[in-house]
């Protein structure tokens, strides 16, 4: 019965995506898909293109030149079942931005949460521990990497066993020196997750270090984003004192390598929702994050027709998680408060 439900949902998803692609796709020109740039209030990013009626399951990672975007989309936010996820890719062409399509490197089982290295030559992402789709002996995720080879990407390579263990490793981002930050196994943490750091030495990642209690609180601390110059780290946490089930926090790195106490981003960003997957655009101008916030229209108490409700269901703001963006000046303001 469960398999039948999953197959039905999967067919519905494919049918909807196929029908969407057949519709007239908007002509998108300019930086950030030609979207009107936000101010200090979070706004849904690229509704109907990046943010959809489905479950956006990562930040939109931009290449350094801003001409490529990769992100993960899933089928609703239901974690009881293993609904499929898709790592999508969109780029600038001679005719403007392309339609979203499968990322060319993300063909491994469970490929998700991709991010570019700051030089744009690598993409790191999480996926099944094995490149063999028939290898179902384990169910954990590992971190993989591809390198740019001209106009193509290399075959995905898993990181070493110092990083990839018998447990789950996921949500990678890297600095300009390729220092890796990610979520790995932390015994005693919420869901046994913790945020780790690993430097690269002579082309190989070194033994990872668990970040201190100012970051790993023992609650749900995850979805890290590291500043390319390693000046700060953004992440989501369910620690006490927040505004919702998951809030965005920032910790600044001191000159001696230690980290400040994490600072909550405050109620302008953190509402009574689950905020996660923070990200700063390569030009440093915008802060992105994912939230399961529900549209104010749906919460207004008004009575809608079935046709109107159907539109709400298949569009952003339905509570299945969307990407939001705002001016990144808030980071500098929080830096003054540390």
- Determine the pLDDT at residue 22: 46
- Determine the pLDDT at residue 5: 47
Tell me which residue of 59, 187, 130, 320 sits closest to 144, measured CA to CA: 130
Pairing of strands 122-128, 141-149: antiparallel
Q: What pLDDT digit, counting tens, does each position of 219-233 carry?
A: 999 999 999 999 999
- Determine the pLDDT at residue 286: 98
**Most distant CA atoms of the chain, gap in Å:** 63
DSSP assignments along 22-55, one per residue: HSPPPP--SGGGGPPPP-SS-EESSBTTTB-SSE
35 burial (CB, 10 Å; 0-12 / 13-18 / 19+) is middle
The model scores a pTM over 0.75: yes
> In this structure, what CATH number is given to the domain that contains residue 164?
2.120.10.30
Q: Which domain range does residue 168 map to?
A: 2-335
99 within 8 A of 25, measured Cβ to Cβ? yes
Q: How many domains does the chain have?
A: 1
Within the chain, which residues score under 70 in pLDDT? 1-24, 76-82, 130-139
- Measured from the Cβ of residue 136, the count of other Cβ atoms closer than 10 Å reads 10
What is residue 313's three-state secondary structure?
helix
| Cβ-Cβ contacts under 8 Å for 155 (sequence gap 6 or more) | 146
């Amino acid at each position: 019965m469960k398999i039948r439900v999953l197959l039905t949902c999967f067919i519905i998803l494919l049918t909807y995506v196929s029908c969407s692609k057949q519709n007239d796709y908007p002509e998108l020109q300019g930086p950030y898909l030609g979207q009107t740039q936000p101010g200090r209030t979070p706004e849904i990013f690229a509704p109907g293109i990046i943010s959809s009626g489905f479950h956006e399951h990562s930040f939109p990672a931009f290449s350094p030149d801003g001409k490529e975007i990769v992100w993960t989309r899933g089928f609703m936010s239901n974690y009881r079942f293993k609904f499929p996820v898709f790592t999508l890719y969109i780029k600038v062409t001679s005719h403007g931005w392309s339609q979203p399509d499968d990322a060319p490197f993300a063909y491994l089982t469970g490929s998700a949460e991709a991010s570019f290295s700051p030089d744009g030559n690598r993409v790191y992402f999480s996926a099944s521990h094995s490149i063999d789709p028939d290898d179902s002996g384990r169910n954990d995720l590992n971190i993989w990497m591809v390198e740019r080879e001209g106009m193509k990407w290399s075959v995905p390579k898993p990181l070493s066993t110092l990083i990839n263990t018998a447990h789950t490793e996921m949500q990678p981002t890297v600095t300009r020196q390729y220092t890796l930050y990610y979520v790995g196994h932390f015994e005693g943490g919420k869901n046994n997750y913790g945020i780790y750091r690993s430097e690269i030495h002579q082309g190989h990642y070194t033994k990872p270090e668990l970040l201190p209690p100012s970051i790993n609180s023992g609650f749900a601390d995850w979805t890290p984003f590291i500043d390319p110059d390693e000046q700060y780290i953004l992440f989501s946490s369910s620690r006490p004192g927040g505004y919702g089930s998951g809030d965005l926090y920032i910790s600044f790195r001191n000159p001696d390598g230690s980290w400040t106490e994490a600072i909550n981003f405050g109620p302008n960003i953190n509402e009574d929702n689950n905020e996660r997957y923070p990200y700063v655009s390569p030009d440093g101008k915008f802060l992105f994050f994912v939230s399961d916030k529900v549209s104010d229209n749906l919460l207004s108490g008004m009575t809608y027709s079935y046709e109107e409700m159907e539109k709400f269901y298949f569009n952003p703001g339905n509570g299945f998680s969307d990407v939001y963006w705002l001016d990144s000046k808030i980071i500098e303001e929080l830096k003054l408060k540390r």
